[in-house]
Amino acid sequence: MAPGKKSKRSSSSNRRRGRKDSKRLKKRRSIAVAPVDPRAVDTEWWDIFWRRNSSAAPGPIPDNEEEGFKHFFRLSKQTFAYICSLVREDLISCPPSGLINIEGRLLSVEKQVAIALRRLASGESQVSVGAAFGVGQSTVSQVTWRFIEALEDRARHHLKWPDPERAEEIKSQFEALYGLPNCCGAIDATHIIMTLPAVQTSDDWCDPANNYSMFLQGVIDHELRFLDIVTGWPGGMTVPRLLKFSGLFKLCESGARLNGPVEKTLGGGHEVAREYIVGGPAYPLLPWLITPYESSELSGSAAPNFNAAHESARLLAVRAFSQLKGSWRILSKVMWRPDKQKLPSIILVCCLLHNIVIDTGDKLNPDVALSGHHDSGYIEQCCKQVDPLGKTVRDNLAKHLMYVKEKSLIKSK
């Protein structure tokens, strides 16, 4: 059969399509991608960003550029340069196609890091972050994930359990500040709230506040630094179960962690306080995890006195989580259908950034910390699990604190 005749309409449509394709091709060819030395430090991106956003961004923006930089990125220019040095090789080793901004220039390492930090610090949508930098949503997504992968790999040394020398310094500070000998840190946990597609919802991920969430647990030192974290577990778990599934629990139970010298010179001749951390009533009382006395156990003066010191030390962890979720607001906002396999990496990188600010001598900004509790809307449960050895350690500590207090009163008379 002979082929049918092409209609004039079809022919005309093909010609128009051809002209459009030709124009697109010419337009692509006309975009000259400026050659960029990937190892060169880009100093222009900030000037452009500052001019574009210093007056347009919502909320009060500091007039001073240094303070403005910290407002947008939660860290100083010096710390920003350090972070760029950590990830530079990874970001330039195999740059993906498409990382070109609207001026036709390849994105520098500095601009990529800035985009990722702004996304993590603000928690704003990828569209909003892209508009602030003159790039598209897909670029923000791609750049942010590449940065997370790179920093997760290159900055691990900023989140580690302290060596014996560092542990002695931490214990010394906890005793000087709160009177607690041999205390190595404070522990707490928080929920990272998210929405999930209907096909992924389950009771495991639905927490007591009827949110879908992922847990983050952390041990904190006296400077609000994270020493250990565990994340990735569903928010529907109980805190004791979360603890039991953590590497921290396995290491401490096996004697591989919190195994330093035992304090044998407690005031008044009372015995033995091994290394331990302090936690809230949601945690079990263990030989290495000391929780407060319950209200029914507060007879006499030793227990209330201990609880007061314990609470002051434990609040370090509460402050650290409020600072973390306030500085890196992607963790405090409801995440829209995140990849549950990637979310732990996002959480870890925010903890790394928190620690980097401390380790570089930069200052955590208390003004950006969450004004309320980091787990607002959640009621702290009380764990009834009590290890007899843990009870002995707590009683010895309570007697020691009471002895020190009484001795101090006698001296003051």
Give the model confidence (pLDDT) of 143-152 as tens digits: 999 999 999 9
Average model confidence (pLDDT) for the chain? Answer: 87
pLDDT of residue 148: 97
Q: What is the dihedral of CA 138, 92, 36, 23, to 10 degrees?
A: -40
**Residues 151 and 173 occupy one common structural domain:** no
Structural domains of the chain, count: 2
pLDDT of residue 272: 62
User: What integer is the mean pLDDT of 228-236?
Assistant: 96
Which residues have C-beta within 8 Å of that of residue 362, sequence separation ≥ 6?
A: 75, 76, 78, 79, 356
Question: Does residue 196 sit within a domain?
Answer: yes
* Whole-angstrom distance, CA of residue 287 vs CA of residue 23: 74
pLDDT of residue 94: 63
Question: Does residue 93 sit within a domain?
Answer: yes
Query: What confidence tier does 413 reach under pLDDT thresholds 50, 70, 90?
Result: low
Q: Of 127, 157, 187, which residue sits at a domain end?
A: 157
pLDDT of residue 191: 96
* Whole-angstrom distance, CA of residue 344 vs CA of residue 163: 25
pLDDT of residue 406: 86
**Residues 170 and 238 occupy one common structural domain:** yes
**Residues 300 and 178 occupy one common structural domain:** yes
Query: What confidence tier does 100 reach under pLDDT thresholds 50, 70, 90?
Result: low
Amino acid at 219: V
**Residues 171 and 273 occupy one common structural domain:** yes
Q: Of 128, 157, 186, which residue sits at a domain end?
A: 157
**Residues 275 and 203 occupy one common structural domain:** yes
Q: Which residue in 193, 194, 172, 168 sits closest to 181, CA to CA?
A: 172
Q: How far is CA 409 from CA 176, 398, 406, in A?
A: 17, 17, 5
**Residues 382 and 243 occupy one common structural domain:** yes
**Residues 150 and 275 occupy one common structural domain:** no
Query: What confidence tier does 175 reach under pLDDT thresholds 50, 70, 90?
Result: very high
100 three-state secondary structure: strand
> Which residue has tokens 């990496």?
345
> Which residue has tokens 């974290």?
229
- pLDDT higher for 29 or 392? 392
The terminus-to-terminus CA distance of the chain in angstroms comes to 118
* Whole-angstrom distance, CA of residue 185 vs CA of residue 248: 13
* Whole-angstrom distance, CA of residue 333 vs CA of residue 141: 17
* Whole-angstrom distance, CA of residue 73 vs CA of residue 92: 22
User: Worst-scoring range by mean pLDDT, 21-30, 204-213, 233-242?
Assistant: 21-30
pLDDT of residue 300: 80
Question: Does residue 40 sit within a domain?
Answer: no
Q: For residue 245, give the H/E element and its range.
A: none
Q: Is the pLDDT of residue 3 over 80?
A: no
Question: Does residue 349 sit within a domain?
Answer: no
- pLDDT higher for 21 or 50? 50
Question: Does residue 7 sit within a domain?
Answer: no
**Residues 87 and 170 occupy one common structural domain:** no
Question: Does residue 12 sit within a domain?
Answer: no
Question: Does residue 35 sit within a domain?
Answer: no
> CB neighbours (10 Å) of residue 58?
6
Q: Of 113, 132, 157, which residue sits at a domain end?
A: 157
pLDDT of residue 93: 81
pLDDT of residue 39: 66
* Whole-angstrom distance, CA of residue 279 vs CA of residue 317: 9
Domain extent for 139: 65-157
Residue 373: CA atoms inside 13 Å, Cβ hemisphere, count? 11
Q: For residue 115, give the H/E element and its range.
A: helix 109-122
φ/ψ region of 274 (left if φ > 0, alpha if ψ in -120 to 50, else beta) reads beta
Contact 240, 215 (CB under 8 A): no
User: What integer is the mean pLDDT of 98-121?
Assistant: 83
Question: Does residue 361 sit within a domain?
Answer: no
* Whole-angstrom distance, CA of residue 206 vs CA of residue 201: 8
**Residues 109 and 145 occupy one common structural domain:** yes
**Residues 303 and 198 occupy one common structural domain:** yes
Q: Is the pLDDT of residue 5 over 50?
A: no
Q: Is the pLDDT of residue 293 over 90?
A: yes
User: Worst-scoring range by mean pLDDT, 52-66, 335-349, 388-402?
Assistant: 52-66
> Which residue has tokens 């993906």?
96
**Residues 153 and 165 occupy one common structural domain:** no
174 three-state secondary structure: helix
* Whole-angstrom distance, CA of residue 319 vs CA of residue 239: 19
**Residues 181 and 252 occupy one common structural domain:** yes
* Whole-angstrom distance, CA of residue 192 vs CA of residue 334: 8
Query: What confidence tier does 263 reach under pLDDT thresholds 50, 70, 90?
Result: confident
pLDDT of residue 375: 92
